[in-house]
Amino acid sequence: MSRKTFLLPPTTAVRIVWALTGGFSNDPHSQRAAVYAEQSLKNIESKALESRDKEEVHYVPSAIVSMQATLRSLDTVYKGRDLNFDEVNQLRSAYLKSITDRIDFGKKTQDFLKSLPAMTIAGAGGVTVADALGLSGIKLWTFSLVLVAVGYLINLAFVGHARRANQMHLVKGDHERNTYYDQYVARVCVILEALYIDIDQIHHNVFGDKYPDPLQRTPQQVLEEMFGGVRPTHCKYIHKHMAEGKITPELWPLCETGTVERETAKKDPLLVCRKWEG
């Protein structure tokens, strides 16, 4: 019967490296997890050297080198994700500025129409618009009231449109961040799967066989168990329907969480989405 490591199985190595990525974050809890993982790895290395077991002495340092190289790749991916998030925030800020400009324009239009009767016509010797139109008394009052109402409706239309545009912009920004996050998790899984295979091969080279997983899981299954809870749960049609403009701020929570899919699973899965899909 071939021997196996008792200090650093491939699954443990993968979990330690994933915990070490907490050091990239500004979150105190994630940073503490990274500190504990780093200390655990140092303890494993020390035990390997103290054991004087020639296989462990050769295997553990080789595995740690592979883990460090993987951590470097994960650092690059993490920085790329943060850059994507920053770009989304910059685009959002620029769009919010345009919405604010629209609201300001509606307000200025309202103020302009309210003051129009009393405005002096340039070059007309101090004649106001009301004077030029021959308005006075009840006619002037009616004309002013109509302008106030028109200005109010115009401003209301601009504000309503801007509010809706802002809501939809927030939804799209949330969707874009989720998409980048989904891509980040997928890339992390690919990198960690490669680490698992690499360490398993090191184990084979040193101990004469690959590490026998007690549950007989493949590397893909190990990663799926690790990341099953952190993957987005959005509806499978979310990208298509977002591009087609079918998703509204009211529907977004259902689309993002996949609630439509789960709630209708006993009847007709994705009932609303299937209606859209014909």
Average pLDDT, the chain: 79
Confidence check: pLDDT of 209 > 80:
yes
Which residue type does 170 have? L
Q: Render pLDDT for 61-73 as a digit per residue (tens, 0 to 9).
A: 999 999 999 999 9
Q: Render pLDDT for 7-31 as a digit per residue (tens, 0 to 9).
A: 999 999 999 999 999 998 888 999 9
Supply the pLDDT for residue 92.
Answer: 67
Q: What is the pTM of this model?
A: 0.72
